[in-house]
Amino acid sequence: MRNLLALLIMIAAAPALAQDTGASTQEPKKKKVIRLDALTVEGKIQKPQAFYILQRSNLNFDDLNHPESFVPKVVQTVDKQPF
């Protein structure tokens, strides 16, 4: 078991030992420097304050209790031809 673990560690470490030979022949990239003039902004920072209060809504469940039956309307639409 130890031999197998050691073999796996050696196989996993092999790509880490590889070196990139092309990296040493390339020239380092020159950095671009952009200089801007100083800009002074004077003023006060204010935090926005807003309050919005919603009133409680009155739920009305009276519309859900219909004394009328919808069964005749459903049967009527089933009897009709679709087109």
Instruction: Give tens-digit pLDDT for 35-54.
Output: 888 888 788 888 878 877 88
- CA distances to 24, 30, 62, 77 from 83, rounded to whole Å, are 78, 75, 37, 12
Q: How far apart are CA 35 and CA 66, in angstroms?
A: 76
What predicted TM-score, i.e. pTM, was given to this entire model?
A: 0.22
Rounded CA-CA distance 67/60 in Å is 16
- What distance in Å separates the CA atoms of residue 42 and residue 24, rounded to the nearest whole number? 50
Mean pLDDT of the residues in the chain:
76
Task: Return the amino acid letter for 83.
Answer: F
CA angle 11, 15, 18 (to 5 degrees): 135
